[in-house]
Structure 1
């Protein structure tokens, strides 16, 4: 590879990126519209993995000459299809849902920080206080309960 090719290797690779990127982007948007809002909801662990994996496939498809559009699209359809299937299984089978989704965890309740739960979830008192402030409160005295949701968000319930 010459020095010039480090900066510009021709119009064909750029054209491929534009065409593949546009088609793949439109395909992903269409797939997400078909599978519904659940795919775009707050992320639990599995949703996060699917999102990262789809992004990785998308990025590789844009830059790798050895990966065709149809192969990248098949990988994305597979990932989104698995996410859709698992969300259906979670909906229909409570035991399956419990197996793949974290349960909400009470971190603070009725004036007491739940240290054991905080340690297990690696949440500090400062993290809880930040969530309380984000809800417009200044102290824990104004709060009844703080729950770490399966999505990783903290729900703050006033007294």
Structure 2
């Protein structure tokens, strides 16, 4: 019988997972809707940490019987509330924004690979080439700048955009 309990411990735990999972999912969707679409766009480091923490609370609430639904709801609401508060403070204060957010880093500019920036960001020349290819360019002569954005994405600015402005 012990071996059977390993695979199936009754209907009550399964019912608990269905109820708590559904309620928490709806709460997270609702909270994300009210905390802005920014949460769902490209993630900053802080957004990523909050997403992982919310996922951890969600997962624990589904499987741990010692965590009540109200505790899980409070924890998730707290995390998303803090994220919203911090994004509001960053919007209001450039100082806070500079302290929290990563800055864009120029990796290539006007024909010159920024070796120090590549080294600092643990990227290679091949990473730059891969980025420009993914943006539809064949070589660096077609590109004016390659920038590592604060969200981790890489932007590529072509020479045509530079001359048009």
TM-score normalised to the size of structure 2? 0.94
Q: State the secondary structure of the residue aligned to 2:38.
A: helix
Deviation at 1:147, TM superposition (A): 0.4
Deviation at 1:113, TM superposition (A): 0.7
The aligned residue for residue 20 of structure 2 is 20
User: Does structure 1 residue 59 correspond to structure 2 residue 64?
Assistant: no
The aligned residue for residue 127 of structure 2 is 127
Q: State the secondary structure of the residue aligned to 2:155.
A: strand
The aligned runs of 1:100-119 (5 Å cut-off) are 100-119=100-119
The aligned residue for residue 34 of structure 1 is 34
Displacement over 3 Å in runs of 4+ = none
The aligned residue for residue 10 of structure 1 is 10
CA distance in 2, matches of 1:41, 1:91: 16
User: Does structure 1 residue 144 correspond to structure 2 residue 165?
Assistant: no
Structure 1 unaligned segments of length 5 or more: list them: none
CA distance in 2, matches of 1:65, 1:140: 57
The aligned runs of 1:81-100 (5 Å cut-off) are 81-100=81-100
Over residues 42-96 of structure 1, what are the superposed CA-to-partner deviations in whole Å (9 max), with x where a residue is unaligned?
Answer: 1111000001100111111111011111101100000000000000000000011
CA distance in 2, matches of 1:44, 1:128: 21
TM-score normalised to the size of structure 1? 0.98
Deviation at 1:39, TM superposition (A): 1.5
CA distance in 2, matches of 1:127, 1:10: 52
Structure 2 unaligned segments of length 5 or more: list them: 160-165
